[in-house]
Amino acid sequence: MSLVNYSTREITCKIVYYGPGRSGKTSNLQYIHAFVPEERKGPMVSLATETDRTLFFDFLPLDLGTISGFRTRMQLYTVPGQVYYNATRKLVLRGADGVVFVADSQPEQWEENIESLRNLHENLLEEDIDVKTFPMVIQYNKRDLPGVIPVAELDDTLNFRGVPAFPAAAVAGEGVFDTLKAASKLVLQSLSRRFGQEIQQP
Amino acid sequence: MMMGSELPHLIDALRPPIQRFVRESRARIALLVSSAGQVLAQHGFTRSYQVRNVASLAAATHASSHALAQLAGAERWEHLYHGGRERQLFLAPLRTPIEDLILVVIFDADSSLGIVRLFYENLEKEVAALPEFQQKRERRDQESFEHDLEAGLEYTSPDAASED
Amino acid sequence: MNALFNAAVERLSRVAGVRGALLVESEAGVPVVSELREGVNETAVAALVASLFRRTGAASETADFGRLNTLQLEADEGHVVAVDAGELILVVVADHDAQLGLVRFEAHRAAESIA
Q: What are phi and psi of B152, to 5 degrees?
A: -60, -40
**C-beta of residue A89 within 8 angstroms of C-beta of residue A31:** no
Q: What are phi and psi of A10, to 5 degrees?
A: -130, 140
Q: How many domains does chain A have?
A: 1
| β A54-67/A45-48 pair status | antiparallel
In a domain, A20, yes or no: yes
Residue A4 has pLDDT above 70, yes or no: yes
Asked if the Cβ–Cβ distance from B146 to A50 is below 8 Å, we say no
- Measure in Å the smallest separation between the Cα of B155 and chain C Cα atoms: 33
Query: ipTM, 2 decimals?
Result: 0.84
pLDDT for residue B146: 83
Helix (H) or strand (E) holding A102: strand A98-104
**C-beta of residue A13 within 8 angstroms of C-beta of residue A187:** yes
Residue A170 has pLDDT above 60, yes or no: yes
Band of the pLDDT at A93, cuts 50, 70, 90?
Answer: very high
B56 touches chain A (CB under 8 A): yes
Residue B163 has pLDDT above 60, yes or no: no
pLDDT for residue B22: 97
**C-beta of residue A104 within 8 angstroms of C-beta of residue A27:** no
Average pLDDT of span B90-114: 95
Question: Could you write out the DSSP letters of every residue in B21-79?
Answer: HHHHHT-SEEEEEETT--EEEEES-S-HHHHHHHHHHHHHHHHHHHHHHHHHT-S--S-
Q: What are phi and psi of B92, to 5 degrees?
A: -150, 155
Residue of B13, B19, B36, B31 whose CA lies nearest to B133: B13
Q: Cβ contacts (< 8 Å) between A83 and chain B: which residues?
A: 146
Inter-CA distances, B112 with B17, B44, C106, Å: 19, 17, 28
pLDDT, averaged across chain C:
91
Residue A198 has pLDDT above 60, yes or no: no
The better pLDDT of the pair C77, A101 is held by A101
In a domain, B161, yes or no: no
Nearest-Cα residue of chain B relative to residue A87 = B53
In a domain, A146, yes or no: yes
Q: Cβ contacts (< 8 Å) between B112 and chain C: which residues?
A: 27-29, 47, 50-51, 54
Q: Which domain holds residue C82?
A: 2-114
In a domain, B85, yes or no: yes
pLDDT for residue A7: 85
pLDDT for residue B81: 93
Asked if the Cβ–Cβ distance from C47 to B121 is below 8 Å, we say no
The better pLDDT of the pair B47, A62 is held by A62
Looking at the DSSP assignment, which residues form a beta bridge with residue A167? A140
**Strand ranges, E, within A19-83:** 45-48, 54-67, 70-78
Inter-CA distances, B79 with A39, A173, B52, B103, B162, Å: 37, 40, 21, 10, 30
State the pTM of this model: 0.86
- Alpha-carbon span B139 to A137, nearest angstrom: 36
CATH number at residue C20: 3.30.450.30
**C-beta of residue A42 within 8 angstroms of C-beta of residue A15:** no
A145 touches chain B (CB under 8 A): no
Q: How many domains does chain C have?
A: 1
Residue of C10, C2, C28 whose CA lies nearest to C92: C10
Q: Which domain holds residue A129?
A: 3-195
In a domain, A142, yes or no: yes
Lowest average pLDDT, out of B53-57, B117-121, B155-159, goes to B155-159
Band of the pLDDT at B138, cuts 50, 70, 90?
Answer: low
At A25 the three-state DSSP class reads: helix
Q: Which domain holds residue B41?
A: 7-156
In a domain, B2, yes or no: no
**C-beta of residue C104 within 8 angstroms of C-beta of residue C3:** no
Band of the pLDDT at A56, cuts 50, 70, 90?
Answer: very high
Q: How many domains does chain B have?
A: 1
In a domain, A11, yes or no: yes
In a domain, A202, yes or no: no
CATH number at residue A78: 3.40.50.300
pLDDT for residue B18: 97
Asked if the Cβ–Cβ distance from A21 to B146 is below 8 Å, we say yes
Average pLDDT of span B54-76: 91
Residues 6+ apart with CB under 8 A from A169: A141, A142, A143, A144, A175
pLDDT for residue B129: 95
pLDDT for residue B143: 63
pLDDT for residue A193: 84
Question: What are the pLDDT digits (tens) for A123-159?
Answer: 999 999 999 999 999 999 999 999 999 999 999 999 9
Band of the pLDDT at A84, cuts 50, 70, 90?
Answer: very high
Tell me whether residue C40 is exposed, middle or buried, using C-beta atoms within 10 angstroms of its C-beta: 0 to 12, 13 to 18, 19 or more: middle
Residue C15 has pLDDT above 90, yes or no: no
At A140 the three-state DSSP class reads: strand
Inter-CA distances, B124 with A168, B113, B121, B130, Å: 47, 16, 5, 10
Asked if the Cβ–Cβ distance from B36 to A55 is below 8 Å, we say yes
pLDDT for residue B162: 45
pLDDT for residue A196: 65
Band of the pLDDT at A202, cuts 50, 70, 90?
Answer: very low
Q: Which of C24, C26, C27, C42 to mutate to probe the B interface, most B CBs <10 Å? A: C27
Inter-CA distances, A144 with A109, A110, A156, A181, Å: 15, 17, 20, 21
Question: What are the pLDDT digits (tens) for C46-93?
Answer: 999 999 999 999 999 999 999 999 999 999 989 999 999 988 999 999
In a domain, B164, yes or no: no
What's the length of chain C? 115
CATH number at residue B112: 3.30.450.30
